[in-house]
Structures are given as C-alpha cells and as structure tokens.
Amino acid sequence: MSCVLAIESSCDDAGLAVFSSEAGILYESTQSQLNLHRRYGGVVPGLAAREHLRSIPLLLEDLRESRNMVSQGSRDVAEINRLAVTTGPGLAASLAMGLQAAQALAAAGQKPLQGVHHLRGHLLSAWIPLFEREPASFHSRYSDFLPQLALLVSGGHTLLLELEAHWELRVLAATVDDAAGEALDKGAKLLGLPYPGGPEIEQEALGGNPHTYDFPKAFVKAEDRKFSFSGLKTSLRYLLEKIPNEAFPSQRADLCASYQKTVVDTLCLKTRQMLLEKRFASLGLSGGVAANGLLRAELEALAREFSIPLLRPHPRHAGDNAAMIAFAALMDPKHTQASPALEPSWRL
C-alpha cells in the first residue's frame, strides 16, 4: 500500500492532501487567496508566492493536528511513505514555494518525492470518484474507460485530449489565444464583475436569457482542430460600447447568460465533432471551468447521446487542489519526475 502527501501551489491556491491507494483521501485542505487578489482584478504573482510561504506551514500544522486526532480512532490512517508536489506548469515563484516545502519534508522524513504535472493532476481528478466507488478494483477496471476524450478547461488551458492506455495522451485541440476560463474572467471584468469571473458570470446568468445576444463562435468547422476565445471578448467590448449606461444594469444578466452559453456551446461543439470522428469509451471533464453547471449539464447530455459515461471531478476538485496531485502521483508514477525540478512551462 502507498500513501502519499501532496502539495499544490502552482497559482493562487495552496493545497495539501493525503491520499492512500487503499482508503482514498485521508485528508485534504485548500487555502484560497481569492480575497487577496480580488482587489487587483487578477492574480499578482509576487503576492501569491508570499502568501504561499505563509499558508503552506499553516496547512501542514493543521494536517499534523487532525492526523493525531484520526490516527487514534481509525485503522485507515496509513503512514505517509511518499511525497508529491506540482512542479509545473504555473507561476514560477508560487511553484517554488510548494517545491521547497516538499523537499524539506522529504529530506526530514527520508521519503521519495515525485514532481507532478499540474494538468495531469486535473485530468486524473475526473477519475477520483470512480476510484472511490471501488478502490480495490480500480487498477483492473480503469482501462474499460479508455480511450477517453478529455476536455480540460481552466484559467490557463483549453484542451481536448485523447487519454490512452497507461495514461499516455495526445492533444487533439488547443486554444490559439485565450483559455475558456480566461474568456470568462475577461468578459466578467468588462461586465463590471469581480475576479474570478467564471463563477460570477454563472451566478448572474441564472437570471438572464441566453438567447438575447448572438456572440460569434470561432473555428466551428470539424477540420479546425483548435479553439479561439479572444474574438468573443472583443465582440462583447464592442457590444457594451453600444449599450447606453442607463440600460446596462437591466441587461447584464442577459449579457452574462448569452456570453456563458457561447463559451459552453463552443466547447461542446468541438467535443461533439471529436466524438463523431472516433469511438471513445468515456468522456472526461476537468479544470476550474468544470465547476460550471451549464457545461456539466451539456456534457452530460453529450455523453448520453453517445452512450458513454462522463467522468468528472467532485466540484471541490474542479479548481486547483492537492488531492488530484496525490492521485496522479499514485496512479501514474511513470509521468512524474523522480527528481523534481521546477518546470514553469512544462508541456504535456
């Protein structure tokens, strides 16, 4: 049995998790820096790193306290015998804080340390619920769900990937400019909503009509194996210039609903085109934007249409978290670094 302690600090969230190959998640905690960055309208790298320096020791302290508590009453609490840490891609200074802490822990406990790719963590997060259903049979069953068509949508990435046996992967489509989450964040800013914009737009859209405005979609043809979201943001800016100030408040919900629907429809259109091209055993959804209710519902419908299961993370594992890093280290050691080094631009 393996039990791994993982640290995630690639951007503005610090996460700590303990994951056992037999019992699943034994501990997890995420420290968000939202309130710190919100007033600047986005993540300030220097501030993020300084905050990680403060919060990672606090998370470790909390883990020590709760582990003492659980270990007295539960046989499940295993000894941590490995460590894992996100080494890229991400903000260099933020990643460095997690790596330093993990290296110190590994040296003190004389335990091996694995460097994990942040996006492989997101991809694997969609498989955690499947693992939790039957941990003992996961290794013999997971290949039933491969090859998987995986949609990874976060603040920095928009990718359609083919996930194959032994967690090998192939990029089928990527964005040529803004990521889906970035499009929502930038759109929200134009609409006077705070950072991060994805959940704000989703909330505001609840009271709006998604068919009010017709925003452009890029690369709609099946042979266009790419996404683009920067034109969408620009068209929102031009539209807003035409709306009189006094009319704006009454139209914001419709604007949000229409804008969100365009992002979601674009993602689903490309996903559908890929599903028509090849037979996949499952559909996967991951990344911060996977928390979006409309996207989840639309992908659910798509999976039903093609009669394949949709694997998606628990909502708390859609955004950055350490449980997905621990899980990737346990399930896919081959694609981790045995001697972790910072890789801020680590490619898939």
How far apart (Å, rounded) are the C-alpha atoms in residues 311 and 52? 31
Residues 115, 340 contacting (CB under 8 angstroms):
yes
Choices 142-150, 181-189, 316-324, 329-337; region in contact with Zn ion by CB under 5 A: 316-324
Pick what 28 binds: Zn ion, ligand KG4, none; C-beta below 5 to 8 Å, kind-dependent.
none
- Residues 262/220, Cβ–Cβ less than 8 Å: no
Rg (CA), the chain: 21
Locate the DSSP E strands across 121-254: 148-153, 158-163, 169-175, 226-227
Residues 146-205 that bind Zn ion (CB under 5 A): 154
Q: Which helix (H) or strand (E) holds 93?
A: helix 92-109
- Residue 91 in the binding site for ligand KG4 (CB under 6 A): no
Q: Among residues 78 and 205, whose Cβ is nearest to ligand KG4?
A: 205
What does 184 interact with, of Zn ion, ligand KG4, none (CB < 5 to 8 A by kind)?
ligand KG4
Question: Quick one: what does residue 51 bind among ligand KG4, Zn ion, none, with the CB cut-off 5 to 8 Å set by partner type?
Answer: none
Site for ligand KG4 in 18-47 (CB under 6 A): none
Question: Taking a C-beta distance cutoff of 8 angstroms, is the pair 327, 167 a contact?
Answer: no
Show Cβ contacts of residue 73 under 8 Å, excluding neighbours closer than 6 positions: none
Binding-site size for Zn ion (CB under 5 A) equals: 2
Q: Least distance in Å: CB of 264 to ligand KG4?
A: 9
Cα 231 to Cα 5: distance, rounded to the nearest angstrom? 42
The entry of ligand KG4, Zn ion, none near residue 88 (CB within 5 to 8 angstroms by kind) is: none
How many residues make contact with ligand KG4 (CB under 6 A)? 20
Interface with ligand KG4, residue 292, by CB under 6 A: yes
Q: Which of the residues 149 through 208 are near ligand KG4 (CB under 6 A)? A: 154-156, 181-182, 184-185, 196-199, 202
Which of ligand KG4, Zn ion, none does residue 326 bind to, with CB < 5 to 8 Å depending on kind? none
Work out which of 98, 121, 147, 319 binds ligand KG4, going by CB under 6 A: 319
Footprint on residues 210-229 left by ligand KG4 (CB under 6 A): none
What is the distance, to the nearest Å, from the Cα of residue 157 to the centroid of all Cα atoms in its chain? 9
Torsion sign (Cα): 321, 229, 280, 301: positive
x/- contact string, 247-286, with ligand KG4 (CB under 6 A)? ----------------------------------------
Beta strands in the chain (DSSP E): 3-8, 13-20, 24-32, 82-88, 113-117, 148-153, 158-163, 169-175, 226-227, 282-286, 310-311
Footprint of Zn ion (CB under 5 A) = 154, 320
Footprint of ligand KG4 (CB under 6 A) = 11, 154-156, 181-182, 184-185, 196-199, 202, 287-289, 291-292, 319-320
